[in-house]
Structure 1
Amino acid sequence: MLGKRAKRPIGLDEFDAGIFSIWNRRRMLLTSGEFVTGMFNAMPVSSGFFGELWGVPAAVVFVRPQRRTFEFLEEYSTFTLCGFSDRKYQEVVEQLGSVSGRDVPDKIARAGLTPVAAKKVDAPIYREAELAVECTRLCRGKLDGRNFFLKSLVEEHYPDRDYHSFYIGRIEAVTGIGKYVKE
């Protein structure tokens, strides 16, 4: 029998992410690039979705164009989402969002995370993560203030008009600890 903290593959029919709490409270780290070449970058994401689109399990993430990870998402076909709810990693994940990979190329190592090869995609996951969701890009789009029904969102979230792009990825594999498995 696996312990509560032991990681294992999680079938998509048994994956339970806690759709409203996983993004903000559990600290998700988005990574795109290639583990093998060492060309990848990571950033925290606090907005996203898990669900089904076009008959496949999907994840949606939102990234502003000035982020270094945006460049990797544009160039590389895979990305991962890794979850960290343990308090000791909250500061680590936040730190990765406040330091640019352009300025500090080894920011992930400095943060104390250990990138490891994912099971099915080129982008890495992290040994310390309690959840890893591996995705292949399907499409991208861009939010545009002209399409917002609630115009106050533009001033509140986009005063510089640096609208998020969103990336939809097919979920290829999920690995995690017991709390991500439906009971």
Structure 2
Amino acid sequence: MPNFRSILPAELSGNAIQRISKQWALASAQKPDGAANTMTISWGGLGYLWNQPVAFLFVRPQRYTYEFVESADGFSLCFFPEKYRKELQYCGTISGRDEDKIAHCGFTVAHQDGVPYFEEAEAVLICKKIYAQDLTGDCALSELVTNQYPTGDYHRMYVGAIQTVLVRDDA
């Protein structure tokens, strides 16, 4: 079992844009029945909103993970070392409806405050959902946005208050 230590959100090292867009992350949540699911993300954000550190998660309603995030009080964002790139690609292309992709990747699920995360991660954000809103074409101010949704399948945005940041002692 890896040794994680808790740090303040402002102490998380690395560029948030690089972490999300290039390194990617797994977003995970758990239903009340204990079932967990994850998906790879390369869109999102970290910041400060409503006087607290937050993470922004975007999930399309047709994604299997959507029903997990919808029914949970919180979610995790797990960032992995490059050696797990193949597993993150797998979790981004295979649906949890079709198989247990967490088991397939050999990830070890742990929990913090009822939120699942992975022991193989190098950094983990445990977030409590505090806001959710559907993105719509009516609110888009640029084709840069609408071009991302040619079929109108807009994401739902979740704002999560970052409750805990865990980093590996050996990372």
TM (normalized to structure 2)? 0.91
Match of 1:93 in 2: 88
Aligned residues of 1:92 and 1:111 also touching (Cα < 8 A): yes
The answer to whether residue 137 in structure 2 is matched with residue 145 in structure 1 is yes
Higher fraction of strand: 2
Task: State the SS of the aligned residue for 1:101.
Answer: coil
Task: State the SS of the aligned residue for 1:82.
Answer: strand
RMSD of aligned C-alpha atoms? 2.0
Task: State the SS of the aligned residue for 2:65.
Answer: helix
Match of 2:10 in 1: 13
Match of 1:33 in 2: 30
Task: State the SS of the aligned residue for 1:25.
Answer: helix
Higher fraction of helix: 2
Unaligned runs of 5+ in 1: none
Assess, with a 3 A threshold, how the Cα gap between structure 1 residues 178 and 50 changes in structure 2: closer, same or farther.
Answer: farther
Match of 1:111 in 2: 105
- After TM superposition, the runs of 4+ consecutive aligned structure 1 residues lying more than 2 A away are 177-180
TM (normalized to structure 1)? 0.85
Assess, with a 3 A threshold, how the Cα gap between structure 1 residues 153 and 7 changes in structure 2: closer, same or farther.
Answer: same
Distance in structure 2 (CA, Å) of the matches to 1:148 and 1:179: 43
Q: Provide, for residues 57-108 of structure 1, a one-character-per-residue CA deviation record: whole Å limited to 9, x for no partner.
A: 111111111001111111111100000132x21110110111111111x210
Q: CA deviation at 1:152?
A: 4.8
Unaligned runs of 5+ in 2: none
- Percent pairwise identity: 34
Distance in structure 2 (CA, Å) of the matches to 1:152 and 1:117: 37
